[in-house]
Chain A
Amino acid sequence: MKNTILLVLLLLAPAAKAEKASVDLSPWEEIVVQDSGRRKPMGSFGHEALVKISGRDPVVLSDDSKMDGTEFAFANFYATRDFTREPVVLVSYRPLVEKLGLDTTRKRFSGKELAGAPALIELAQEAAALRQTGQPVPRLNAEAQSVISRLQLLKGLGDMSAFAIFPPPPGAANGAAWLSIEQMPVAYPPETAGPLLTSLRDANTAARKGDGDEFAAALRSLVDGLRELNPAAYPSKDITARELSYNRTKPFDKAMWLFASAVALLAFGSRHGWRRWPQRAGVAVTAAGLAFMLWGLLQRVLIAGRAPVTNMYESVIWVAMGTVVFGLIFFAVYRHRLMLIAALPVSFLALLLVRSLPVAMPSRLDPLVPVLRDNFWLTVHVLTITLSYAAFALALGFGHVVLWRYIRQPATADAVRPLHEWLYRMMFVGLILLAAGTILGGVWANYSWGRFWGWDPKETWAFIALLMYVVAIHGKMAGWWGDFGIAVAAVVNFAGIIMAWYGVNYVLGAGLHSYGFGVGGEGYVLAFLAAEAAYVGLAVIRHRSAQQATLTAA
């Protein structure tokens, strides 16, 4: 009875105050939530939920105010806003917006607006039926299903059922579900449940008064109380603190900006005179960016307890890091800043890409699907393959540098021997790693799927990409093209890598590597490919005309 009253008090408390919490919410971030098969701090939960629902963090609300993930979770929990009326639910696929008869200039809609579009549920039900019979699901239906799952999550936040913050009593089965505020009073006696609910209510009161100290004190006693419920199941303070510090640091954003600055410095740099200083600074800034990336990946490994390359987000970041590492190695060997000027922009663009596509390439640390678990060969295979992508990405960047020479000084570009030799070596490193990685994939597949090679699309595209580089090298040996051809291949063949890496999972959507499948990002990739084609085309025209000129002169 007492619990019920508290619950009612808690839920009635909001009084529809539509302003942001005026206290520092960091104590709120430390509450642990069980969600999507993992225990995580509220800070991560709010961020992941907001990104899943709206595709961004922070989101813009109807009154033009911005709200981040932590505030979003808080505002939902204490119902300080009516989120069914806020335009936070992402409908990113334009044909679906049209089909639902909604305003096509917008991408986010409120739950109320979407509830007025019955076609949404029909489309999602069709998708579910198709999935059950194993048939392909059209994009329109798949997107409708995603929108429905966003609405379900928003509803779960609104009715508090998604906030599984109470651990089950000790003695519950390993991996048992945590409890929401509604389920908790069933599992715990009133004398245990009461103080926790009181703390939650006190925190709300303090937040509304704007009393930060009282707010922090109430939530601290809440978290202590929650931990006492089941100390074995509750993550330690260190684990929570690690994840929150990783969230706050945003190491990959920092690395991205450091790499951009490093390029600027290196462009000014030189081996001689006063211009050695900008060069040295550029190298130091690159190293600092790399340190942030290493730290970030290490934190992800420690938080999730697995290798850092298990989804598109992590693999892009790993490749961005690998590109800089290879750039630094080549810089260390050949002592030329062009190595870094080629590597850093590629890395910068890769990091910018994942930052811009939080829905297509989510940064979530969800548990792995069974086939990706506990395997030495898998880890080695994926890390090797993605390192080969990094080496080819460096060759891609360096290919641009070489082609730039052909665009600017087409007559003399062939004569610059070291450039071509370096490019060749970069491609060769990629070739070795891709061959080894593909074979290691076969070794793993032999364990996991029972066969070494089965012409699965992912395997086949790795093979195709490998052959594309092999053909480039053999064609040059056969005399069909020269150094210029290798430079063109360094850029053009990367399309094969993009296909093997992104295309198989996001465009073809076929085969056994289905755990990596996703949708979105086609626009960016197509724009990239078009820009590359234009750049290569220009270089080819310049190179041709220079050759013609030489012939005429002779």
Chain B
Amino acid sequence: MMPFGAGPSRPPRHAWKRNPVFQFLASLRLAVILLSVLIVVSIAGTIFESKFDADTARIWFYEAPWFHLWLLFLAANLVCSAFMRYPWKRHHTGFLLTHLGIIVVMIGAVIGWVWGIEGTMTIFKGSPPDNSLVLQKRQLTVRDPDARRAVTMHLGRGPLRVRNGDPVAIWNTPSGWNIEAVASSDRVLGTFEPTPAAGGKAAVRVRLQTKAMGQTIDRWLLAGDRDHARLDLGLITVDLVAPGANAPLAGAPNRAIIFAQEDGALRAEIITGGRRAAEAPLAVGTPVATGWNDWSIEAVQTIASAQPGFRFEELAADRKPSAGQPLIEGLQIRMTRGEQTITQWVGAGWRVVFPTGAFPLEVSYGWEVHRLPFGLVLKDFVVERNEGTDEPASFRSDLAMVLPDGTTAATGSCSMNQPANYPQAFWRSLTGLTYKISQASWNPNDLSQSSVQILRDPGWLAKWVGSLILCAGLVTMFALRRPATGSPKKTAAAAADKKDAVPTLS
């Protein structure tokens, strides 16, 4: 009872059909085996994803080379089985359309895989146009400023893993440094520590201390930094303000505002219970009493011009991070030259400067960045809430697409389920030859930022056209189905006429 003729069992009329390789590729049994393995592998993939994470499942299964090879094998099987039935008859229509549809979808997937671009971008209200799209591909770059050279390792989706303590060689620099990755970890903790750099802002290491409660807080502040210009303890805030800038208006009732001066000196304004209490110079290494119980404030160290930076270390497996300290993945990098050895952790998403001499080597570990031909500006971000609650009902990002010469080429909004396109022509959204900007995520604590996902998928046309062909094929197969023994309706009715020859429950 085959829906499309006897197929393989008929003696082949064409010579090429007798080729054993072709016959093997066209066989139904191969199809069943290919599909069964695909089922088992996909099940394993979902279990892996549940036990580990989506990236692990992708690396080992869905995006592994052997998996792609398997799909290619399946595609060959689809094509060969279609040609096996050549010359095609009317009752082959459904079968052929279905197989053609799958092939077209697969072609679309390959086009998207090779020529498509997919990444995310977090944009901030009031920031200049941003065109750096972060891709889901990791890379490790080492820069040697002296030799004016850099090497980049493209790592694909997964992090670089150092297994069994075998170091991974990265680069022998022209200046004679041998660079290796000696350890990898998912439990890397970054402590904010600005590094001196020309053209930066003032940085101060502040120490707050209370002897009565036996508490000491020691932290770096960087003026003008989005996350690190303020030390916030809830009831106490300390702000660092760059020369000429204004202090933030709001703060805790007890607050200290440190004003960095042009000459590098510091001046502190103390506010107690919301009222201005004192103003005095803050000398490095000299604690100043604040008047809030026995709290004292001290500038431990200053940098006149600094850039944001982190000192990374691995957190031991038995220790828990304190609240608000995210653990990230990272690599421990070792640089050796003769007797000299420098070993440091590098957290994913950051650049770390290694003190190798007058022109220090830099290692950055993170994600590949694709430069879009236009910059994105977040004009507004709107969150609607469910009535009477804080739960979001919808998000919307109002965007402007800005060209390199500064002109605004287009504006648009993207919200959940309603992406924005650039360029905006209708045929472009049909073919996927556009940048589709979707609302991806948001930060409940900061409504002046928004994360969008950007996709350019030239395979989109093939994907949806192939899908349509596939569905049309299935429906045709169902409609043209010829059961082996006459019309089921007639048979059934005939059977039923013989006093329930198709008995129900016996």
Contact = CB atoms under 8 A, between A and B. Distances in A.
B227 interface: no
A39 B478 contact: no
Interface in A238-283: 267, 270-272
Contacts of B50: 457, 508-510
A373 interface: yes
A455 B388 contact: no
A417 B491 contact: yes
A380 B495 CA distance: 39
B386 A474 contact: no
Interface in A460-475: 460-461, 463-464, 467-468, 470-471, 474-475
Most buried by A among B47, B385, B488, B495: B488
B294 interface: no
A54 to B, nearest CB: 23
A133 B323 CA distance: 8
Interface in B1-58: 1-3, 7, 27-29, 31-32, 35-36, 38-39, 42-43, 45-47, 49-50, 54, 57-58
B326 interface: yes
Contact of A450 (B391, B436, B464): B436
Interface in B442-458: 453-455, 457
Interface in B425-480: 436, 438, 440, 453-455, 457, 460, 463-464, 467, 470-471, 474-475, 477-478
Contacts of A267: 504-505
B127 to A, nearest CB: 22
Nearest to B40: A464
Interface in B62-94: 62
A480 B436 contact: no
A321 B237 CA distance: 60
B162 interface: no
Nearest to B484: A417
A455 B62 contact: yes
Given A334-B488, A450-B436, A467 B35 contact: yes
B499 A272 contact: yes
B185 to A, nearest CB: 16
A336 B2 contact: no
A452 interface: yes
Contacts of A8: none
Interface in B107-135: 109, 112, 118
A177 interface: yes
A138 interface: no
A337 B504 contact: yes
Interface in A408-448: 408, 416-419, 421-422, 425, 428-429, 431-432, 435-436, 439, 442-444, 446-448
B505 A333 contact: no
Contact of B46 (A132, A337, A401, A461): A461
Contacts of B460: 446, 452
Contacts of A378: 417
A404 interface: yes
B419 interface: yes
A37 B391 contact: yes
A128 to B, nearest CB: 11
Contact of A37 (B49, B54, B387, B500): B387
B78 to A, nearest CB: 11
A418 B394 contact: no
B404 to A, nearest CB: 24
B376 to A, nearest CB: 14
Contact of B388 (A175, A421, A461, A509): A175
A408 B505 CA distance: 9
B54 A34 contact: no
A370 B393 contact: yes
A224 interface: no
Contacts of B410: none
Contacts of A480: 29, 32
Contacts, number: 206
A551 interface: no
A481 B355 CA distance: 70
A439 B101 CA distance: 12
B491 A418 contact: yes
A449 B453 contact: yes
Given A422-B488, A464-B39, A468-B39, A457 B502 contact: no
A435 B471 contact: yes
Contact of A178 (B38, B388, B471): B388
A501 to B, nearest CB: 14
A334 B489 contact: yes
Contacts of B455: 450-451
A487 B499 CA distance: 24
A336 B42 contact: no
B409 interface: no
B278 interface: no
A511 interface: yes
B259 to A, nearest CB: 35
B327 interface: yes
B483 interface: yes
Interface residues of B, number: 81
A338 B392 contact: no
B372 interface: no
Given A335-B493, A464-B39, A374 B388 contact: no
Contacts of A175: 384-388
Contacts of B392: 370
Contacts of A416: 495, 502
B419 A450 contact: yes
A274 to B, nearest CB: 14
Most buried by B among A341, A435, A436: A435
B152 interface: no
A429 B386 contact: no
A453 interface: yes
A401 B504 CA distance: 8
A480 B31 CA distance: 12
B340 interface: no
A338 B321 CA distance: 62
A468 to B, nearest CB: 6
A35 B389 CA distance: 9
Contacts of A341: 504-505
A31 B206 CA distance: 57
A510 B36 CA distance: 24
Contact of B496 (A336, A443, A444, A474): A336
B38 A37 contact: no
B418 interface: yes
Nearest to B437: A450
A477 interface: yes
Contacts of B177: none
B438 A448 contact: yes
B416 A177 contact: no
Interface in A490-519: 504, 508-511
B416 A371 contact: yes
Given A176-B388, A272-B499, A463-B42, A425 B416 contact: no
Contact of B32 (A272, A367, A401, A474): A474
A37 B389 contact: yes
A508 B42 CA distance: 14
Contacts of A463: 42
B388 A177 contact: yes
Given A447-B419, A474-B31, A334 B440 contact: no
Contacts of B483: 417, 421
Contacts of A474: 28, 31-32, 35
B485 interface: yes
Which 8 A-B pairs have CB atoms at the shortest separation, nearest pair first? A37-B386, A478-B28, A177-B388, A418-B492, A175-B387, A450-B453, A450-B438, A375-B417
30 contacts: A34-B388, A36-B389, A37-B386, A133-B326, A175-B384, A267-B504, A271-B496, A335-B493, A338-B502, A404-B505, A428-B478, A432-B478, A435-B470, A439-B471, A443-B467, A448-B438, A449-B453, A451-B455, A451-B457, A453-B109, A455-B61, A455-B62, A460-B45, A461-B42, A464-B46, A467-B42, A468-B39, A475-B32, A477-B2, A480-B29
